[in-house]
Structure 1
């Protein structure tokens, strides 16, 4: 839960991971790419990953108070980037009471990042880091779970796709919080909304990343008329920081799931290391970091990287 508004190589010992690193320093965390003509399913569409063999690092940044570029300042001792995916937290779903439609909204801090894409987005992409935009409710009654029909979901998906194209993003992340369903006369969550939304977005963005922060009404509404959200998205991860819980998203393999989640500013180093150990032992493909703030956290992050990759983290 937010505290504010807002196959894999299986290793039994960290030593064996480190040995592998020395032998294949340029190895990717996931070298699978979408082949030409390949269907856009959860297991076919992969991020073009960076770093060493092991789980991908996914990092949310609260851009209202922290610099997105911090994600690119952390590397492993061998030189690879620590994080594979950076997520801009967050854009919003607003509700236009005149048109009775959902609208994509950027506050001034998010807008600053997007409008200065060369500085914030492309600088990370040049290091191999994928950059996603998180989509969050805004207390106005509109959210990913209450589109009243397929056309409404498709219209909002088009707004998202347009933003990805305009700002050169690598994809969209969905977070079903703070919608306050029912406000402004809006409907309550329904079973078709999220499926319609991700289906439309996948059609518009066959080669981009779509992820789901496993929380909120959408987490219990993942299939409709035989179509599953897991067949349309790439990744899903646990939303409770300091805990280990596997998201129940049918259609996603272990490689596409992140049961471990930490808040860098509040989760203890010992807990972060324990969650990393569970991730490796159970062969899951994602480790989720939230709230990378300004400053130097390399010592803390080494608690995780030493377990996941057999190397400490360094800070540039």
Structure 2
């Protein structure tokens, strides 16, 4: 099933219990006393380019692979350096679908996402070779399945296992979560509950291990349910982002630090460049750790990106097509 482009989000209004299994409840309750070192609190994913000052903010780019080649990310680097213009790149998007007969969520890869993954040698490896982390973005698909309505820990873990298997198979660097378009309640699915997202993040971190990234596009019911019985999903997340392009909105995710948050988000094709630069400057000034961009096309975006990367990293962006 196709999904709407994120561009439509700019025109929408910003919007924002089931019984718990005993095993799942005990699992999360036990974790609450000891936050994990990996994910949100771990330093191994971060680290600065300049030891004498705060680390440069991370740049994130989402690529609609239904429309454009993912390998375009590798065309951009910082001037007079071997550093990539983008620190993280999202394959947008795989889906969380719902099997009505089995009554369970499952990972769906559409034709273009599958093509991108199966052609990793030409689509993904050149991006990773530049030093950019590649994540698979997981998006709701109008079928009632989402991260906020797993009925048990076991159900959350089963889906987490599918994501971890995809990361391993395609040698990706992590998973990005986008709780849009789920349409909770469709196909007889449950409404969002208080524990599902926390269970899922715990299961996903366990499956992926400490060295893979888990990022959260802060939208949908999951963003309002990040704490359960004292346990914070933010302890296991690496980054969370503002999902509204052309705006400044710091995510409010307990357990995440300022350096793990992206308050600025821009569409490379529609957001005014002056505003984009202003928000990049503000990102540095207020010490946020991430800057989000969306809709990298097959055109040359280096002029637009240069103002952003000069503010964030002190260098212009250079465009060098790899083919």
Which residue of the partner structure matches residue 57 of structure 2? Answer: 55
Q: 2:63, 2:310 → 1: CA distance?
A: 22
Which residue of the partner structure matches residue 234 of structure 1? Answer: 238
Unaligned residue ranges in structure 1 (runs of 5+): 6-37
Structure 1 residue 250: Cα displacement: 1.1
Alignment match of 2:304 (pick from 274, 285, 300)? 300
Structure 1 residue 49: Cα displacement: 6.9
TM-score, reference length from structure 2: 0.85
Q: 2:254, 2:174 → 1: CA distance?
A: 21
Which residue of the partner structure matches residue 40 of structure 1? Answer: 38
Residues 103-123 of structure 1 deviation map (CA, whole Å, 9 limit, x = unaligned): 100000000011111111111
Q: 1:188, 1:102 → 2: CA distance?
A: 14
* 1:151 alignment partner, SS class: helix
Structure 1 residue 50: Cα displacement: 8.5
Q: 1:211, 1:246 → 2: CA distance?
A: 15
User: Is residue 244 of structure 1 aligned with residue 237 of structure 2?
Assistant: no
RMSD over aligned CA atoms reads 1.7
Which residue of the partner structure matches residue 114 of structure 2? Answer: 111
Structure 1 residue 169: Cα displacement: 0.6
The total of aligned residue pairs comes to: 284
8 Å contact 1:173–1:211 — kept in the other structure? yes
Q: 2:68, 2:39 → 1: CA distance?
A: 34
Structure 1 residue 60: Cα displacement: 0.5
8 Å contact 2:241–2:251 — kept in the other structure? yes
Q: 1:50, 1:314 → 2: CA distance?
A: 21
8 Å contact 1:46–1:234 — kept in the other structure? no
Structure 1 residue 48: Cα displacement: 5.9
Which residue of the partner structure matches residue 174 of structure 2? Answer: 171
Q: 2:67, 2:39 → 1: CA distance?
A: 35
Q: 1:50, 1:129 → 2: CA distance?
A: 15
* 2:310 alignment partner, SS class: helix
Which residue of the partner structure matches residue 210 of structure 1? Answer: 214
Structure 1 residue 278: Cα displacement: 0.7
* 1:42 alignment partner, SS class: helix
Which residue of the partner structure matches residue 259 of structure 2? Answer: 255
User: Is residue 286 of structure 1 aligned with residue 290 of structure 2?
Assistant: yes
Q: How do residues 119-268 of structure 1 correspond to structure 2 at under 5 angstroms? A: 119-206=122-209, 207-268=211-272
Q: 1:4, 1:112 → 2: CA distance?
A: 25
Q: 2:287, 2:125 → 1: CA distance?
A: 31
Residues 154-210 of structure 1 deviation map (CA, whole Å, 9 limit, x = unaligned): 100000111100110100000000001111010111111110001001111122100
8 Å contact 2:39–2:214 — kept in the other structure? no
* 2:41 alignment partner, SS class: coil
Structure 1 residue 310: Cα displacement: 2.4
Residues 29-85 of structure 1 deviation map (CA, whole Å, 9 limit, x = unaligned): xxxxxxxxx832412154367966511111100000011111111111122211010
Which residue of the partner structure matches residue 28 of structure 1? Answer: none
Residues 211-264 of structure 1 deviation map (CA, whole Å, 9 limit, x = unaligned): 000111111000112211101110001111111111001111111111010010
Structure 1 residue 4: Cα displacement: 4.8
Which shifted more, 99-108 or 43-52? 43-52
